[in-house]
Structure 1
Amino acid sequence: MKQTLRYEQLSCRLQVDGLPDVSAGQSGEALGIITGWSLQWLGRPELEGRKEHLLALMQVVLPYARHLLSGVERRFGQEDSPVEIGPRPGGGHRLLLRSSQPDTPPLEVALDDAELADLVRVLDQLRLDARLQLPLDLPPIRPLRPREMQERVPRRQRLAAPLGGALVLALAAGLGLLLPEPRPLPAPSSPPTSPPTSPPAAQERP
């Protein structure tokens, strides 16, 4: 029995078609085998593909959006991967889709922040849908590494604090060398010695 999952936002609509995996004991509204999917954009050509293309889209778009929320902009996807996404030089986001058909040029889609947010929502709705009962080979959600967090701060700003501290330390050391040495304190004089006193003589008893 064919199953269809639909997820809609303002600028896009995702539809996933498939069947229950009978060998895994699935039935009813479960979808364990994806036979095809389509993504309809507002004012753009419709995208279609197989399960591998849908997974490739989720594998780059979801971590890219997570890094954006942390203030880290970086490209996801290799030059030979089906999907690639990254920031555009003039602002916004650049989604590049490569077809598996020979002699087919890649499709480049320019997205603004609202369109990217809609795309992330429909992909998240698919990922969290209990009716989708097949493993998704998605990268695990982990905190960003310290190196990635440092890259969000410009290098000039990162170097300002240590260079400023070294400069202050050098100035303090130079001023310390310019100060005159303190004069030595005079040695304390010893108090006069008094002659020893003899103990009182014992009185004779009558």
Structure 2
Amino acid sequence: MKQTLRFEQLSCRLQVEGLPDVSVGQRGEAIGIITGWSLRWAGRPELEGRKEHLLALMQVVLPYARHLISGVRRRFGGPPLPVEIGPAGATHTLLLRSSQPDTPPLTIGLDDAELADLVRVLDQLRLDPRLQMPLDLPAPQPLKPREVQGRLPRRQRLAAPLGGAVALAFAAGVSLLLPEPRPQPTAAPQAPAAEPDPSPEPPPSP
């Protein structure tokens, strides 16, 4: 029996349809096989596709949002992936490539609120216990060193090494200004005390 999952936010609604995977004993409201999905936005064309397209959307949108929270704006996706998202000034551009030949890519501009709504519905789907199928999503990765450095202003990045160099130079200058300690006079060696003669004295004569 076909099941339907719906997740709604202010600007979008995600609907996923599927069936229980009876081969692994699923039943009831469980979805182990996705048969279709649709994403509706106010004032924008409706998106729909197969399971592969939904996974591709999650694989680029979720890590993109995590990097935005960390202050790193970078593009995710790109050919040959069907979905790509990246910054566009103060907004974001979502690009969808169709698997149909001679069909141009669809570009959708999103503001911060619309992107947040999209992330929420995708997260709700990912965490829904009724979706009982493995999702091939990338594990969260820590930021690369160059990405962390790019978050900090140059003045803040140079403050620590410059502060260390100044402290070292100050310590070296202070050590040069201090007078050298005078040598202490050595005491004259003392003669060893005379030791008593251990031999016994002869007894007095009568």
Q: Per-residue deviation at 1:137?
A: 0.5
- In structure 1, the residue matched to 2:113 is 114
Q: 2:164 is matched by which residue type in structure 1?
A: G
Q: Per-residue deviation at 1:188?
A: 5.8
Query: Are residue 54 (structure 1) and residue 86 (structure 2) matched?
Result: no
Q: 2:182 aligns with which of 181, 184, 196?
A: 184
SS of the residue 1:73 aligns to: coil
The TM-score with structure 1 as length reference comes to 0.79
How many residue pairs end up in the alignment? Answer: 203
Query: Are residue 42 (structure 1) and residue 42 (structure 2) matched?
Result: yes
1:192/1:4 Cα in 2 relative to 1: closer, same or farther (>3 Å)?
closer
Q: Any stretches of 5+ residues in structure 1 without a counterpart?
A: 199-206
1:190/1:95 Cα in 2 relative to 1: closer, same or farther (>3 Å)?
same
Q: Distance in 1 between matches of 2:111 and 2:64?
A: 14
Identity %: 74
Q: Distance in 2 between matches of 1:192 and 1:27?
A: 105
SS of the residue 1:16 aligns to: strand
Q: Per-residue deviation at 1:143?
A: 4.8
Query: Are residue 12 (structure 1) and residue 41 (structure 2) matched?
Result: no
The C-alpha deviation readout for 1:25-47, integer Å capped at 9, x for no partner, is 33332222212111111111111
- In structure 2, the residue matched to 1:201 is none
Q: Per-residue deviation at 1:122?
A: 0.6
Q: Per-residue deviation at 1:12?
A: 0.2
- In structure 2, the residue matched to 1:159 is 158
SS of the residue 1:65 aligns to: helix
Q: 2:26 is matched by which residue type in structure 1?
A: Q
1:180/1:140 Cα in 2 relative to 1: closer, same or farther (>3 Å)?
closer
- In structure 2, the residue matched to 1:79 is 79
SS of the residue 1:39 aligns to: strand
Q: CA RMSD in A?
A: 3.2
SS of the residue 2:57 aligns to: helix
Q: 2:180 is matched by which residue type in structure 1?
A: P
1:20/1:175 Cα in 2 relative to 1: closer, same or farther (>3 Å)?
same
1:188/1:110 Cα in 2 relative to 1: closer, same or farther (>3 Å)?
same
Q: Per-residue deviation at 1:104?
A: 2.1
SS of the residue 1:170 aligns to: helix
The C-alpha deviation readout for 1:54-88, integer Å capped at 9, x for no partner, is 00011111122222223333322133311112222
